Amino acid sequence: MRHIKNFINGQFLDAVDGKTFEKRSPVDGQVIARIAEAGRVDVDAAVRAAHDALQGEWGRLTVDQRVDLLYGVANEISRRFEDFCDAEMADTGQPRHVMTSAFIPRGAANFKVFADVFKTVSSESFQMATPDGRGAINYAIRVPKGVIGVISPWNAPFLLMTWKVGPALACGNTVVVKPSEETPLTTALLGEVMNAAGVPKGVYNVIHGFGPDSAGEFLTHHPLVDAITFTGETRTGTAIMKAAAEGMRDVSFELGGKNAGIVFADADFAAAVEGIFRSSFLNSGQVCLGTERVYVERPIFESFVAALKARCEAVKFGRPDDHAANYGPLISDEHRRKVLAYYAKAVAEGATVVTGGGIPPMPAELAGGNWIEPTIWTGLPETAAVVREEIFGPCCHIRPFDGEDEVVNLANANDYGLSTTIWTSNLSRAHRLAARIEVGITWVNSWFLRDLRTAFGGSKQSGIGREGGVHSLEFYSETRNICIKL
């Protein structure tokens, strides 16, 4: 069994009061790690280490030196690629192909890409006229914000944590990371990587624990934290925003979604079925960008539902490293109970269960895991809870539509506004719809495809701010205005 410690000032440390908590495997329910739970004293030590590091060697590095260190981090992650895949598979129970195709490589890229972005970004400079004729030069420099509190979720833990840590460090900040209590392993491994790459002590710190009355809350309330970046539930974002209000700290929030998938009759049928299958069921439906509301143009509604049902019924449940398997469990028993409660609610609300709706039969050695069937419903009104609320499980409701206006109204009639995926062969229609749908990102004939240099974030209750490329630099640095009279 692994023993995971906090990472403070370059050292792996137990909690001062010796408290720990358990991490259970999603696959079979066995305890796989015991984790040091940071208390107030440990959080304070981590934040002070981060604060002090700003004044030390890290703060004196040139941009080129900092960029070289971040390249070194990316290279070390790539060198330890298998360790990261194994750790993330142990934490999440998701298949190896999910790790190798996206979640781990994108984590390494988050250091390299943001180092490149920061290295090449320019700032404004103006020559001003002055009454005495001698003029002035008015220009801006970018300075780090300071200590960034990073709070990350469990669904794509390494990708989503490094997506914040990479740009934060590229801008010269230091970080204190509070990973989800469900997924501590890759965040801890990154501490080893930071030491191996020669990143100065105190620049990257990790505290483990929970949210309320635990490490998360202690971090967000700490007065030496200068800004907070958070990915997680909208409700949690509300609590963190209240904490950030003390001391007027800036926040960047990536929150929940209830995303629409729209399939027109002119779409490439097979590609649309596979695309919606991925967007609704990849990672067992635990993706913020996932599609839980599917709208299919009426002429192909019946055939689309039948094809998606067949695709769902072909999944093979099993361990992440079982080559015969391609489908994993939910993250925890608690989360499965929440998703199963929605499955029951759908039936109570009058849904037709097209497929799934329960727990699949599993062999005895996996019976303790959080397995659940991919589930499709039809026949519900838009007012039903499972059509309105984020479930974050492997399920979707499919409804027929007639025409662009109707589907735009359906897609927009939700409090969230994170993403959409549209399947059509009519490019003009794709442009028209993409501009009308109230979300941060729209995919056409694709899903979960984005250059790290472009803006990412949610509209409405799906987030505050944008990260990605120069948008991340806007959050992780401050512009200082300097005017020199000549």
- Residues numbered 291 to 310 that lie near ligand 6OD (CB under 6 A) are none
Give the residues lining the site for ligand NAD (CB under 6 A). 151-155, 160, 178, 180-181, 210-212, 216-217, 220, 231-233, 236, 239-240, 254-257, 288, 390, 392, 418, 458, 462-463
Cα–Cα nearest to 251, from 267, 266, 236, 268? 236
The option from ligand 6OD, ligand NAD, none interacting with 71 (CB < 5 to 8 A, set by class) reads none
Instruction: Tell me how far, at minimum, the Cβ of 120 lies from ligand NAD, in Å.
Output: 25
Q: Say if residues 263 and 304 touch (Cβ distance below 8 Å).
A: yes
Q: Which CB, 202 or 328, lies closer to ligand 6OD? A: 328
Q: Does 287 bind ligand 6OD (CB under 6 A)?
A: yes
**Sheet of strand 2-4, all strands in order from the earlier edge strand to the far edge:** 2-4, 31-36, 20-24
Tell me the HSE value of 442 on the side-chain side, using a 13 A CA sphere: 19
Our answer to whether residue 181 is catalytic in this structure is no
Residues near 97 by Cβ (< 8 Å), separated by ≥ 6? 326
Angle at 140 between CA 135 and CA 142, to 5 degrees: 165
Q: Say if residues 19 and 213 touch (Cβ distance below 8 Å).
A: no
Our answer to whether residue 406 is catalytic in this structure is no
Q: Say if residues 261 and 439 touch (Cβ distance below 8 Å).
A: no
The option from ligand 6OD, ligand NAD, none interacting with 93 (CB < 5 to 8 A, set by class) reads none
CA distances 473 to 118, 341, 348, Å, are 7, 41, 47
Angle between helices 104-120 and 157-170 (to 10 degrees): 20
Q: Does 155 bind ligand 6OD (CB under 6 A)?
A: yes
Q: Which CB, 244 or 289, lies closer to ligand 6OD? A: 289
Strand 31-36 vs strand 20-24: parallel, antiparallel, or unpaired? Answer: antiparallel
Q: Token match 């939700």: residue?
A: 414
Count the neighbouring beta carbons within 10 Å of the beta carbon of residue 238.
12
Angle at 77 between CA 237 and CA 187, to 5 degrees: 35
Q: From the candidates 76, 254, 297, 467, which is the catalytic residue? A: 254
The option from ligand 6OD, ligand NAD, none interacting with 255 (CB < 5 to 8 A, set by class) reads ligand NAD
Q: Which CB, 290 or 357, lies closer to ligand NAD? A: 290
The option from ligand 6OD, ligand NAD, none interacting with 418 (CB < 5 to 8 A, set by class) reads ligand NAD
Q: Which CB, 149 or 153, lies closer to ligand 6OD? A: 153
Q: Any idea what DSSP says for residue 102?
A: I
Cα 276 from Cα 315, distance rounded (Å): 15
Bridge partners of residue 285, in order along the sequence: none
Cα 263 from Cα 46, distance rounded (Å): 49
The option from ligand NAD, ligand 6OD, none interacting with 232 (CB < 5 to 8 A, set by class) reads ligand NAD
Q: Which CB, 45 or 439, lies closer to ligand 6OD? A: 439
Pattern 392-431, ligand 6OD, x by CB under 6 A = ----------------------------------------
Q: Does 450 bind ligand 6OD (CB under 6 A)?
A: yes
Q: From the candidates 171, 181, 182, 288, which is the catalytic residue? A: 288
The option from ligand NAD, ligand 6OD, none interacting with 450 (CB < 5 to 8 A, set by class) reads ligand 6OD
Cα 175 from Cα 205, distance rounded (Å): 6
Instruction: Point out which span in 215-223, 265-273, 285-293, 394-402 binds ligand 6OD (CB under 6 A).
Output: 285-293
Residues in touch with ligand 6OD (CB under 6 A)? 106, 155-156, 159, 163, 287-289, 450, 456
Q: Which residues are catalytic?
A: 254, 288
